[in-house]
C-alpha cells in the first residue's frame, strides 16, 4: 500500500511538471538568439515554402520549425525566417520591407499555353514603359549566398564546374551536375524515336550558364551569377520573339499577347524533361524568357510533381 501511494505521488508530480512545460511558452534566450517553440499551435505563413526548400536541398538545410511565431529553416548553423515572403536572419527580419520577396509562384507544369491575364495585370503592364522601367528594389542576398556557398565573383569562379547539356559545354554550380546528367538521359531517349526533338537539339548553338551579373533593368543578382540558370541559344530564332524586353523594345506594345506561333519555343517534351529534374522554364513566365531554364526544385515541389530522389 505504501509503494502504491508513493507511485501515485510521483505520477502526480510528473504530470504537473509536464503540464507546466506544455502551457508555459519558451521565449527567446537572454542573448537575443531565438528559441524554438515546443509545439505549433496553429499554421503560420511560409510553411509550404520553407518545407519546399528543405525538401529541395536536404544536404544544405538541416532543420525547419516555428520560432517566435514564424516558420524558419536552419542552414550552416544559422536560422532564416519566413518574413512576409523573404527569408531573413534574425537581425534582419524586422526590416523585411526593405527587400523584395523571393519569387514563388504557381508554376504551371502542363503543356505550354500563352497565359490569359486578368484585367488588373493587363492594366499594370500597359502602364509600364520598358524603356524607362528600372526596378530598384533589392533582394536579401544572404540566404542564396549561403545556400549556394557563393557571395562574390571570386568565390563563384572558384566553385563553378564545367559539364555538358544536350551536347553543349556549360559552366554551372556543382548542384546542377547530376540533374543535368539526368536531363541528358531523358532527352537522349526522346531523340531516338522523335525526329522533331532531334532536329531541335541539333538547332542549338550554345549554352550559357554561369555569368556574374544582375537581372536586366534591376539591382538584383541573376541566378546566372550562382550558376543555377542556363540559356539554350539556337543558331537562329526563326524571326520569332524569345524575350519580352526585346519584343517591347522592338515596338510590340502588347508583347504579353504574342501568340505561340510568334514566339521561339522549346518543345513540350524537352520542357517536361527539365521540369522532372527540378528546372523551371522561363517561357512560362508572363515576362517570358524562352531560352532560359532555372534550377528551382523548390518551385517544382510546390507544384506537387517532383518526388524525393
Buried b / exposed e along 251-260 (16+ C-beta atoms within 10 A): eeeebbebee
Question: For helices 177-193 and 195-202, what crossing angle results, to 10°?
Answer: 130
Rounded CA-CA distance 45/82 in Å is 8
List, by residue range, all CATH 3.30.1380 domains of the chain.
Answer: 119-303
> What does the block give as the cell for 280?
523551371
pLDDT of residue 42: 52
Q: What is the pLDDT along the chain (309 residues), one digit of tens a residue?
A: 434 333 344 434 333 433 333 333 322 333 334 444 444 445 788 999 999 999 999 999 999 999 999 999 999 999 999 999 999 999 999 999 999 998 887 888 989 999 889 999 999 999 887 766 777 888 899 999 999 999 999 999 999 999 999 999 999 999 999 999 999 999 999 999 999 999 999 999 999 999 998 887 788 889 999 999 999 999 999 999 999 999 999 999 999 999 999 999 999 999 999 999 999 999 999 999 999 999 999 999 988 744 444
- Domain 119-303 class? alpha beta
pLDDT of residue 137: 84
Burial of 149 (0-12, 13-18, 19+ CB in 10 A): middle
Among the residues of the chain, which ranges form H helices?
A: 2-23, 47-56, 119-127, 142-148, 153-159, 177-193, 195-202, 244-249, 268-275, 297-303
Amino acid at each position: 500500500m505504501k509503494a502504491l501511494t508513493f507511485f501515485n505521488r510521483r505520477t502526480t508530480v510528473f504530470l504537473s511538471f509536464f503540464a507546466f512545460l506544455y502551457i508555459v511558452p519558451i521565449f527567446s534566450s537572454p542573448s537575443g538568439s531565438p528559441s524554438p517553440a515546443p509545439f505549433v499551435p496553429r499554421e503560420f505563413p511560409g510553411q509550404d515554402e520553407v518545407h519546399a526548400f528543405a525538401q529541395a536541398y536536404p544536404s544544405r538545410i538541416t532543420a525547419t520549425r516555428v520560432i517566435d511565431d514564424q516558420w524558419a529553416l536552419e542552414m550552416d548553423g544559422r536560422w532564416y525566417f519566413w518574413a512576409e515572403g523573404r527569408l531573413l536572419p534574425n537581425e534582419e527580419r524586422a526590416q523585411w520591407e526593405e527587400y523584395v520577396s523571393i519569387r514563388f509562384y504557381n508554376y504551371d507544369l502542363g503543356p505550354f499555353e500563352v497565359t490569359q491575364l486578368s484585367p488588373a495585370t493587363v492594366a499594370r503592364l500597359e502602364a509600364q514603359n520598358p524603356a524607362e522601367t528600372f526596378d530598384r528594389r533589392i533582394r536579401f542576398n544572404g540566404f542564396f549566398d549561403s545556400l549556394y556557398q557563393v557571395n562574390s565573383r571570386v568565390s563563384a569562379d572558384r566553385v563553378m564546374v564545367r559539364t555538358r547539356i544536350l551536347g553543349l559545354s556549360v559552366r554551372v554550380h556543382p548542384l546542377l551536375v547530376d540533374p543535368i546528367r539526368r536531363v541528358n538521359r531523358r532527352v537522349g531517349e526522346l531523340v531516338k524515336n522523335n525526329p522533331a526533338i532531334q532536329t531541335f537539339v541539333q538547332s542549338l548553338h550554345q549554352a550559357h550558364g554561369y555569368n556574374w551579373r544582375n537581372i536586366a533593368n534591376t539591382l538584383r543578382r541573376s541566378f546566372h551569377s550562382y550558376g543555377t540558370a542556363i540559356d539554350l541559344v539556337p543558331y537562329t530564332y526563326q524571326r520569332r520573339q524569345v524575350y519580352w524586353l526585346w519584343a517591347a523594345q522592338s515596338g510590340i506594345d502588347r508583347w504579353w499577347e504574342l501568340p505561340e506561333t510568334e514566339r521561339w519555343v522549346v518543345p513540350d517534351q524537352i520542357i517536361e524533361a527539365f521540369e522532372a529534374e527540378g528546372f523551371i522554364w522561363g517561357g512560362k513566365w508572363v515576362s517570358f524568357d524562352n531560352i532560359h531554364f532555372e534550377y528551382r526544385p523548390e518551385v517544382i515541389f510546390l507544384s506537387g510533381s517532383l518526388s524525393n530522389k
